[in-house]
Structure 1
């Protein structure tokens, strides 16, 4: 076979990594190729959070319930998780550039479908496709960096990629807010998806000409059955957690959650069988014999459960509870973004090499303290809180987040054998996405359950002022009590609604509709009561997140004292050795 037979286009075909004797000198276009990779990767990661700030607008425009909007977020990360490990193996076998371009093309198409969605169901399906295409694309980025850069340049390239990772999530909130406020072409929320089309097309064309092709000399086999079993088990858990509240927790929801445990056991048994017979399981079970990895995986999952739902309820708190504009809410998020980027950079380059796991412990505690301080301020200031009062807690929480998220994977992988690093890093990346999906579902249950529970307190907060204004209109005491009873019912039903932006029928009493002054009065105090409820409930939810981060702090004690900085060669090692060379056989 000639050299040209191994190529999809004009880019060079690299069959072996640099320094392995199978390739010539560095590609002169490698830095331009890195720009293409970073642009596409940033677009993928941005879309994890960019939708959060547009939630109220999407709910209104598509007449969607809150559970459906949860799925708009969860579907993306579940699709991402579903193809993350599989995408890496497909790239090893069929060409990393080829899979990268397929991912870019699919992501661009899915973005167009999201922007053209006519209902929540179409949007959810398109978001799953978006996430799946990201799962194909992102694993290729690290692999292509590995083959395109020499060991001397690789650290710099990875540092740039790490900075991209650190800024994408929080930047998504700001970008979504600015696009919604700018409203190009009157597209409103659809613009956050349609803006990906020109970026995707440019990345596709540039990637075709600039990104080098490469494959693995010994690509692992694809464990399709294991992938399907793991996806099914995850969906059987996440689906009832997301839908249960809106459906009144029917018996089948608990049956599905129980079934997910059974299916997980089947998955483990199948992976054991595959390890003994065919090799290349989707999950190398021998990893769990490494105590630090087993505990670290749980800690990593808890960390992302704690953070996964934060951006969602934070956005609802600012836009629905405080009635802030999307732009104000998005710009407030900059404090967290700045803290996160600063923490990530200092953690990897300065702190972790010197202080090891103590950096992770400090980061988890600082994140927890930031959430705790935010909880206190949110409850004390109520609906009168200002953006500047959030800056300190958000900087602290973001800086702590950055200290943890950058070196945590290195800490968990420190005790893992070199040959298993690829499989272990894939498991951790998948756990991150699953944790985010679970975080959205669990925080949704906690937040709206508490919002319903505390509705009477919101009424109590505004009743004295409302009664005084009713009396000032000359309304008789008996009539005042009737209005207050109706007002109390309105606030309670709004807090209990599955859609936090919906206005129940009880909030439109006939007497208010006939009197514009009364309608304005009840609307104003209803928004204030709703704001008090959201502030109190958001504060409660932050304490939940803070508590989970304390669990993360305690779990870090199980990790090695010194954190090993893994080379990319380790992370790109074969996902699992042949059966005769498996971890189980070696130990």
Structure 2
């Protein structure tokens, strides 16, 4: 067999068998709609962060309301994903997708014209729910629409859109808020969804083919309640626990999630035996590629989520960079994802199979370790140019790993279960992201508290003008970095005020040096731990087959 034939055969194993009536002639037009919806959803997740100061000023939003803007969206999205995926299998994936897009547009309009912080938070929750209906249909429709030999490159485009949206969010948000078209201010970050969503609705209705599970199924209401409750109990403390100091209710919630999710699994077994219409088809996890793939997705998702949290705080909170500057620094990452992803699914994965995934994880690990070393070496003089190679390695590694892994996870799933499988993959990604933010975030914030004193001891002896206040400045620095809200000013720092402008400037400069050094040390430490997490991902990848193959299909 020629190398080209081998490549085509292996690449075909990334997808389902070709439909008997042939592929949809409008499938590539439909793909544009699916990718646009993916971009719109992910853009909305990342773009809002940039607008938060303007929202606080305009609506008088409290710190709790600001936290609820992001947590409300993430939580409602994550807990509804599994149900959203199953809705497409039962009622039709095109119908569910268009309903999700329509709801997302309505929710975006409510956000854009919200008269108060409370209405904005409620609208963000609605956005999350409608996105959870829309997003799982994307992979499901791709899987049942495209023939096997095209699935790999399509999934690489999907993964590329994810990387692009992660970077474009803060970049576009900074441009819109600064440009302020129509005098709308922060509202433009939601208004931008309206034309995208309207176009997706019209184009989707014209170009998409309807599909749903061939097996007659009914909606599993009890399963919906159990999985939603279980995920809510698990994710809420992960998203809010650290900022609130891990109160008793957060620990109790984490513990309560275990029996609820166990009850969900047992109920799904009962539901399968009773009428074969469970919310989650547990037999999916008997498929080696799916079970191991979902586990790898969950663990892998921890890394980029935790990295971008600590990276953004390091650049903006530690070095004082703007959101626009930060977004521009991530351009090499956004270039690496699509280029490496396309190369992986078309050339590397068909030839080298699982080794391609190992190479992607090792590239990401190299990027993390290199960035940590450069940050320590360059200190506060670091520039965007220093980040080019590490970010390119991170993006390339993510493209080489994520694109083929997504296709391989769906490899042997029956088309009728595509929606449920897609919902599980997306839910695993969201749960992994929440775990990454919680674990790597905890490491980063713990590093801030532990390194502040060390940095103060390094900086202050070289500033003779503050010799008499060294103890007070050190206490201020430690207190400022050992608190949930890093923007708050501790009383020990307020006490440093002086009527002498020159002395005040010296103290301010010393604290700024301590701050940048503290953030740098904490960032580097978080990256070392993140690279250890990638080592765990590599171990899990050993559970995947060496080469992709389709079972039971001639």
Same fold (TM over 0.5): yes
Greater CA deviation, 496-505 or 145-154? 145-154
Matched, 1:369 2:366: yes
Q: Is contact 2:242-2:438 (8 Å) kept?
A: no
* CA deviations over 1:95-141 (Å, ceiling 9, x no partner): 44433232122212222343455776655443332222122123334
Matched, 1:540 2:537: no
| Residues 572-583 of structure 1: pairs in structure 2 closer than 5 A | none
Choose which of 244, 247, 254 in structure 2 pairs with 1:250: 247
Q: Is contact 1:68-1:120 (8 Å) kept?
A: yes
Greater CA deviation, 391-400 or 376-385? 376-385
Output the TM-score relative to the length of structure 2: 0.86
**Size of the alignment, in residue pairs?**
536
Alignment-derived partner of residue 356 in structure 2:
359
* Distance in 2 (alpha carbons) for counterparts of 1:383 and 1:103: 45
| Residues 442-481 of structure 1: pairs in structure 2 closer than 5 A | 442-466=439-463, 468-470=464-466, 480-481=467-468
SS state at 1:454 partner:
helix
Alignment-derived partner of residue 471 in structure 2:
485
Structure 1 pair 147/239, CA: closer, same or farther in 2 (3 Å)?
closer
Q: Is contact 1:180-1:191 (8 Å) kept?
A: yes
Structure 1 pair 200/366, CA: closer, same or farther in 2 (3 Å)?
same
Structure 1 pair 463/498, CA: closer, same or farther in 2 (3 Å)?
same
* CA deviations over 1:375-400 (Å, ceiling 9, x no partner): 11112222111111111111111111
SS state at 2:321 partner:
coil
Choose which of 262, 266, 270 in structure 1 pairs with 2:263: 266
Matched, 1:499 2:485: yes
| Residues 155-194 of structure 1: pairs in structure 2 closer than 5 A | 160-185=157-182, 187-194=184-191
Offset of residue 31 of structure 1: 5.0
Q: Is contact 1:364-1:404 (8 Å) kept?
A: yes
| Residues 16-55 of structure 1: pairs in structure 2 closer than 5 A | 19-20=19-20, 32-54=29-51
SS state at 1:358 partner:
helix
Choose which of 304, 310, 313 in structure 2 pairs with 1:316: 313
* CA deviations over 1:244-295 (Å, ceiling 9, x no partner): 3333333332221111111111111111111111212222223444555444
Q: Is contact 1:292-1:412 (8 Å) kept?
A: yes
Offset of residue 301 of structure 1: 1.1
Choose which of 556, 560, 563 in structure 1 pairs with 2:545: 560
* Distance in 2 (alpha carbons) for counterparts of 1:559 and 1:155: 17
Alignment-derived partner of residue 136 in structure 1:
133
* Distance in 1 (alpha carbons) for counterparts of 2:242 and 2:79: 25
**Higher gyration radius (CA):** 1
Matched, 1:387 2:372: no
Offset of residue 537 of structure 1: 0.5
Structure 1 unaligned runs (5+)? 1-16, 471-479, 570-587
SS state at 1:560 partner:
coil
* Distance in 1 (alpha carbons) for counterparts of 2:439 and 2:66: 14
Offset of residue 236 of structure 1: 1.2
* Distance in 2 (alpha carbons) for counterparts of 1:469 and 1:539: 30
Q: Is contact 2:85-2:136 (8 Å) kept?
A: yes
Structure 1 pair 173/346, CA: closer, same or farther in 2 (3 Å)?
farther
Offset of residue 356 of structure 1: 0.4
Output the TM-score relative to the length of structure 1: 0.81
* Distance in 2 (alpha carbons) for counterparts of 1:404 and 1:148: 23
Offset of residue 185 of structure 1: 4.6
Choose which of 210, 229, 233 in structure 2 pairs with 1:232: 229
* Distance in 2 (alpha carbons) for counterparts of 1:68 and 1:445: 22
Offset of residue 497 of structure 1: 2.1
Offset of residue 308 of structure 1: 1.7
